[in-house]
Amino acid sequence: MKVIETHNLTKRFDRLIAVNKINLSIKEGEIFGLLGPNGAGKTTTLSMLATLLPPTSGRAYVNGFDVVNDASKVRHSIGFVFQDPSSDDLLTGRENLYLHALMYGVDMRNINKRMDEVLKLVDLTERQNERMKKYSGGMRRRLELARGLLHDPRVLFLDEPTLGLDPQTRQHLWTYIRRLADEKKVTVIITTHYMDEADQLCDRIAVIDHGKIAAMGKPEDLKKRLGGDVVRIKSKKPNVAAVKKLRYVKNVKHNDGMVTMTVDNSAKHLQEILKKIGNVESVETRSPTLNDLFLHLTGSEIRDEEGEGGYFERMMASNRGNR
């Protein structure tokens, strides 16, 4: 059975189409990533699946329940960790869990045992009786994850759960998420800006841009789509036109003396490329990453028209604002 299924799922806000006819089919125990720039429609998609926003058109099923007609059944079978943290700083970690359980109708008969379990899962047993205001960013995220897991959901929605965390804590969190999917067969839908996260954690990803799915598949298959190696050449005065003519070169992008391209069999052709481009200052060759795919699909040029630098610059700026 498919745990998540959508048919032309669409959300409009007045004239803006935030999510545009999205079709997803996600199976039990899968970790599925939604990857896309700011405003792509990731949170809106998740919100509709979690019954927090009604779709404008199209359909969505979670655990076999319709998100519109069976919203309360959907809600009881899911857990979510959303972008805005909502814990109370004056309460302890454990008290926050208890409060959440009361508010969200979690079965209270075994609540103490259940809280012990989830606290252990996110390694907060030792710190559970401290007030949240003493928690670090990473500990807060872990508590939010624990909260989302309290009622043993079959599906977990995570909206940028690792935003602003240090690499070690992120890695740690991935381990919990992976364990949930593998051992408990929990289906996880996660949104992220981090390419390495999508690459290492997700079984499948959908790249979403302007509310549409630009590509979907296993990370390794998507990377293969680019074909060849990524070559980056720095040159004071690059002859970009000459390089574009080479038949084994694809996806040529030029930005301020930095020329990026994908090259079939770069070892064989690099010499010729360097000769054509001229005035070479440095060269870098590597295997494609999801980031390359991302730039390829969503196109840095489109963003540049907005006149505020590249995707990553804005990403960094928005991350800073978020913490």
Ligand X SMILES: Nc1ncnc2c1ncn2[C@@H]1O[C@H](COP(=O)(O)OP(=O)(O)OP(=O)(O)O)[C@@H](O)[C@H]1O
- Among residue numbers 37 through 56, which ones bind Mg ion (CB under 5 A)? 42-43
- Quick one: which segment of 36-44, 117-125, 194-202, 223-231 binds Mg ion (CB under 5 A)? 36-44
In the complex with Mg ion, which residue's Cβ is closer, 45 or 96? 45
If contact means CB under 5 to 8 A according to the sort of partner, which of Mg ion, ligand X, none does residue 217 touch?
none
Closest approach of ligand X to the CB of residue 298, in Å: 12
If contact means CB under 5 to 8 A according to the sort of partner, which of Mg ion, ligand X, none does residue 36 touch?
ligand X
In the complex with ligand X, which residue's Cβ is closer, 235 or 298? 298
Closest approach of ligand X to the CB of residue 47, in Å: 7
In the complex with Mg ion, which residue's Cβ is closer, 42 or 269? 42
Closest approach of Mg ion to the CB of residue 40, in Å: 8
| Closest by Cα among 169, 171, 101 to 135 | 169
- Please give, one letter per residue, the 3-state secondary structure of the chain: CEEEEEEEEEEEECCEEEEEEECCEEECCCEEEEECCCCCCHHHHHHHHCCCCCCCEEEEEECCEECCCCHHHHHHCEEEECCCCCCCCCCEHHHHHHHHHHHCCCCCCCHHHHHHHHHHHCCCCCCCCCEHHHCCHHHHHHHHHHHHHCCCCCEEEEECCCCCCCHHHHHHHHHHHHHHHHHHCCEEEEEECCHHHHHHHCCEEEEEECCEEEEEECHHHHHHHHCCEEEEEEECCCCHHHHHCCCCEEEEEEECCEEEEEECCHHHHHHHHHHHHCCEEEEEEECCCHHHHHHHHHCHHHHHCCCCCCHHHHHHHHHHHHC
In the complex with ligand X, which residue's Cβ is closer, 44 or 77? 44
Q: Which of 13, 72, 242, 272 binds ligand X (CB under 6 A)?
A: 13
In the complex with Mg ion, which residue's Cβ is closer, 159 or 229? 159
CA 2 to chain centre: 21
In the complex with ligand X, which residue's Cβ is closer, 44 or 262? 44
Q: Which of 10, 24, 33, 44 binds ligand X (CB under 6 A)?
A: 44
Residue that the structure tokens 């959303």 belong to? 82
Q: Which of 3, 4, 9, 18 binds ligand X (CB under 6 A)?
A: 18
Cβ–Cβ under 8 Å, residues 124 and 106? no
Binding mask 22-41 for ligand X (x = CB under 6 A): --------------x-xxxx
- Among residue numbers 236 through 295, which ones bind ligand X (CB under 6 A)? none
User: How many residues at the interface with ligand X, by CB under 6 A?
Assistant: 11
Task: State yes or no: residue 226 binds ligand X (CB under 6 A).
Answer: no
Closest approach of ligand X to the CB of residue 69, in Å: 23
Interface residue list for ligand X (CB under 6 A): 13, 16, 18, 36, 38-44
Interface residue list for Mg ion (CB under 5 A): 42-43
